[in-house]
Structure formats: C-alpha cells, structure tokens
Amino acid sequence: MKIYEIKQMNNDELLKRIDEEEKNLVDLRFTHQLKQLTNTAKLKLVQKDIAKMKTILTQRLSAEKNSKGAKA
C-alpha cells in the first residue's frame, strides 16, 4: 500500500484497516509456521503497511492535539 493511498483514508477507515491487516498478519504467521506460505515476503510487506498506517494515524492525532492546544 502506498502512502498516498493511506493519506486519502479517514481515521475510522485507518483504524478498521489496521485491525484487518493485523488479523491478516496473524494468519500469515500461522500459515508460515505450517510451512504452507510460499511467498514469505508478504510477512514483511504486511508489517510495513501496518507501520505506515499507524505512523500516519499518529501524525494526524498529534497535529489535531497541537492545533487544539494552540487555540486554548
């Protein structure tokens, strides 16, 4: 997933997508342990996508917090 795709999502969509990807990661790890995963690079890709989404979400929340603090 590309950064511009993540930035187009709103916070609720991001939280939902993070939850889905974390479940997907658990399934991939389980499949990998059973030696049935053929493309092991998917593990790293999913981890990186989760990290990107969490980073964007954190940036948005801190920006909202800073903008509210400046108004008060």
Percent of the chain having pLDDT more than 70?
Answer: 97
What pLDDT is attached to residue 49? 97
Q: Which CATH architecture has domain 3-66?
A: Orthogonal Bundle (1.10)
Mean pLDDT for the stretch of residues 2-24: 96
State the amino acid at position 39 in one-letter form: N
Our CA angle for 55, 2, 6, nearest 5°, is 50
Q: What are the strands, taking DSSP E only, across the chain?
A: none
Which of the four pLDDT bands, split at 50, 70 and 90, describes residue 72?
A: low
pLDDT at 70: 74
Q: Which residue has the tokens 């609720």?
A: 12
What are the domain boundaries of the chain?
A: 3-66
Mean pLDDT of the 35-58 span:
96
